[in-house]
Amino acid sequence: MESKKALPVLFAVMFLVMVGFGIIIPVMPFYAEEIGATPTQLGLLMAVYSFMQLLLAPMWGRISDQIGRKPVIMIGIFGLALSFFLLAISSTLWMLFVARIVGGFFSAANMPTVMAYVADITSDEDRGKGMGIIGASIGLGFIFGPAIGGIFSQTNLSLPFYLAGSLSVLTFIFVTLVLKESLTAEQRNKQLQERTPIRKALQGPVSILFILQWFVSLSLAGLEATFAYFAYERANLGAVELGYIFMIMGLAGALVQGGLVGRLTKKYGEGTVIQLGIVISALGFFLILFVDSFVTAAIFLTVFGIGNGLIRPSVSSLLTKASPTGYGRTTGLLSSFDSLGRIIGPPLGGWLFTLAVGLPYMLGILLSVLAFILYRVYKAKTNSKTNKTGSDPSLA
């Protein structure tokens, strides 16, 4: 296994990608408003990006199975750089939409292909550790990116987009020079000959794990969309305090994914860690209902962040072991279900918030309970299959 050499490189790649992506987050609303976008159009600008990822992540994952991981990662990063530069030069609303569509089209290649790369180079027992390290790099990128974007936006609103584009170009060069291909020519030819349909990954008990991850993503997106309003309503917290709170939550999640997930999955298995993460997330949602100060908001949101940080890498690890198709197809579908949650979650959370401020978090508790039940159903089905075939397809 080349994981000891490749994992630090993949960590750096995803960290740089997410820093570049995060740089534009605090700037995008003001930039779009300056061009003339209404709040509804801004929402569509955000949604179209996730919608493209929903459609295209499985395609990129399948392509990476057939032509290799490295070229697909390079295509994704190059397209992301192009989208940032297009945003920087946009002067009309339609140009912003074109840039976001281009960004969603190409960036859909990054996450599933990197996760498939991790699956290529790790053993079954170290798979959770590898997925956790990638999750940590994403979390840290989201912490540093918005901070950098906020600082540079004070000079010029278009400057963060040029900065993000330049960073993506540097990341592209880094991948070209340093990252090695994880699939052999024989493995790629085998995938080309088999041409296994993506829908096969949704057959059998493994399909339950995709729905479980969708519930997790849906509840997280609802929280992210409404917590600023909730914190202001309950504790009169402003943008600065919220920035610190999300930074604390992000650091806790990154530490859990980078250091704890691997140890726990190796000792207890992915299934136990998924269930533990769901329970802690549900507890976090429940505690959030009692936020009344900066301290309680930071602590309760961090509890949720720790639970959420345990789930995704463990699900990714388990899926790559249990799925009957190539790693790229599997991780591409997982990214699609994530995107579906990010599309539906914000408007659903916003609508519930208008009915009662605590409803989005009550929904989070309900979805956590359903996710826990789904995992138990998945486990029961795989145990039944094991008893019939004599082998455990989930390796969980």
- Determine the average pLDDT of the residues in 125-152: 86
Task: Output the pLDDT for position 328.
Answer: 87
Confidence of residue 70 (pLDDT cuts 50, 70, 90): very high
Is residue 228 pLDDT above 80, yes or no? Answer: yes
- Determine the average pLDDT of the residues in 210-226: 92
Provide the percentage of residues in the chain whose pLDDT is more than 70. Answer: 92
* The two structure tokens encoding residue 94: 């339609």
Provide the CATH topology of domain 3-180+187-386: Growth Hormone; Chain: A; (1.20.1250)
Confidence of residue 102 (pLDDT cuts 50, 70, 90): very high
Distances (CA, A) of 185 to 25, 65, 69, 254: 39, 11, 12, 34
Tell me the per-residue pLDDT of 162-173, one tens digit each, with 9 for 90 and over.
999 999 999 999
Tell me the per-residue pLDDT of 176-214, one tens digit each, with 9 for 90 and over.
999 998 887 777 776 665 666 666 667 778 889 999 999
Distances (CA, A) of 132 to 29, 46, 135, 342: 31, 27, 5, 21
Task: Output the pLDDT for position 200.
Answer: 66
Whole-number average pLDDT of the chain: 87
Task: Output the pLDDT for position 198.
Answer: 62
d(CA 328, CA 60) in angstroms, rounded, equals 8
Question: What DSSP assignment string belongs to 141-205?
Answer: HHHHHHHHHHHHTTT-TTHHHHHHHHHHHHHHHHHHHHPPP-S-HHHHHHHHHH---GGGGGSST
Neighbours of 180 (CB within 10 A): 12
Tell me the per-residue pLDDT of 46-59, one tens digit each, with 9 for 90 and over.
788 889 989 999 99
Task: Output the pLDDT for position 192.
Answer: 61
* The two structure tokens encoding residue 320: 């790559």
Task: Output the pLDDT for position 373.
Answer: 96
* The two structure tokens encoding residue 128: 């959770």
- Determine the average pLDDT of the residues in 366-372: 97
DSSP-derived secondary structure letter, 259: I
- Determine the average pLDDT of the residues in 36-63: 86
d(CA 321, CA 21) in angstroms, rounded, equals 30
Confidence of residue 394 (pLDDT cuts 50, 70, 90): very low
Tell me the per-residue pLDDT of 11-24, one tens digit each, with 9 for 90 and over.
988 998 888 888 88
- Determine the average pLDDT of the residues in 329-350: 90
Q: Where are the alpha helices (DSSP H) in the chain?
A: 3-23, 28-35, 39-67, 69-89, 93-107, 110-121, 127-152, 159-178, 185-194, 206-235, 239-255, 261-268, 270-288, 294-322, 327-355, 359-389
End-to-end CA distance of the chain: 21
* The two structure tokens encoding residue 171: 């990341």
Confidence of residue 66 (pLDDT cuts 50, 70, 90): confident
Chain position carrying tokens 């704890």: 260
d(CA 267, CA 229) in angstroms, rounded, equals 40
Task: Output the pLDDT for position 395.
Answer: 44
8 A C-beta contact, residue 38 and residue 306: no
Amino acid identity of 275? Q
d(CA 357, CA 334) in angstroms, rounded, equals 30
Task: Output the pLDDT for position 4.
Answer: 62
DSSP-derived secondary structure letter, 357: T
Provide the percentage of residues in the chain whose pLDDT is more than 90. Answer: 46
- 37-45 contacts: CB < 8 A, separation 24 or more? 37/93, 37/96, 41/93, 43/346, 43/347, 44/97, 45/96, 45/97, 45/100
- Determine the average pLDDT of the residues in 253-264: 89
8 A C-beta contact, residue 346 and residue 221: yes
Chain position carrying tokens 């192009």: 82
Q: Where are the domains of the chain?
A: 3-180+187-386
d(CA 191, CA 193) in angstroms, rounded, equals 5
